[in-house]
Structure 1
């Protein structure tokens, strides 16, 4: 039972092969996700300007997610593997710690956005309008997915 999928063959889709356009497509897709996340929360902030409906301190999650986006993508995969980074602040170990802290901030922002959505907009007996909570959650989810697409959707082979 341990190798029952070893002989399964999937046909390869040639329409997904991006070749030299892979980095451009990943960057555009990541940018669209990032832009959409911030657009949604700005829309909620303009529609619900009252602090009772949308506490503007909830923007903190989006700022932390944006910081995590930059932390995750500031180190290359070569630095993580130790191929192109041997000196500096702790070398390869420092790059790995930086990436780990970036992922921690990203997950923390997403968890905090979930807590804001359910704690303040879904569970209370007389909840305020739910769109601001949904917008905060979607913002953080889209920024996190944007960071993943930008980090793992590109290839360093095409940087030369």
Structure 2
């Protein structure tokens, strides 16, 4: 005999993904981006002697990748709504490819730094290396979430 048979849960008004999908994906991408930078800033504040200034280049390249990837709409790549510029849809495709290469490079470089400087050398604290890798991974994940999670209805 089920005791919760007649219990009805109200629908969640703010989570209707239909017309609010772009806003939700933007918020999720922003949270991932913020969390990545927050982890790295935390690691730098707690262990400043283990993080060199050059380690932040990975995060800067990841951030530039996020901007590059999300500055091109999917319709511009397909050539549907883009007939301006000197390179057209090929230029948009090249721009997004360069953005993805930068993002992958930032993730791979941060993983390399994690292994080379924090895991294999038996550093006193390995959290800064993990924070660097998580920063770049979350920025790249936020970029993918924003790029492929939104619909073409509102933003192109």
Scaled by the length of structure 1, the TM-score of the pair is: 0.85
Report the CA distance between 1:89 and its aligned residue.
2.4
- List runs of 5+ in structure 2 lacking aligned partners: 1-11
- Matched ranges for 1:1-40 at <5 A: 18-40=17-39
- Matched ranges for 1:68-107 at <5 A: 68-107=65-104
Report the CA distance between 1:17 and its aligned residue.
5.9
RMSD: 1.7
For the residue of structure 1 that corresponds to 2:105, the secondary structure is helix
Match of 2:147 among 144, 151, 154: 151
Tell me what 1:58 maps to: 55
Q: C-alpha distance in 2, partners of 1:143/1:20?
A: 25
- Matched ranges for 1:127-138 at <5 A: 127-138=123-134
Report the CA distance between 1:56 and its aligned residue.
2.1
Runs of 4+ in 1 over 4 A off after TM superposition: none
Q: C-alpha distance in 1, partners of 2:106/2:51?
A: 17
Scaled by the length of structure 2, the TM-score of the pair is: 0.87
Number of aligned residue pairs: 144
Query: Whose helix proportion is higher, 1 or 2?
Result: 2
Q: C-alpha distance in 2, partners of 1:37/1:159?
A: 25
Measured against aligned partners, the alpha-carbon deviations of 1:85-131 in whole angstroms (never above 9, x if no partner) come to 1120210100000000000000000000000000100011x423100
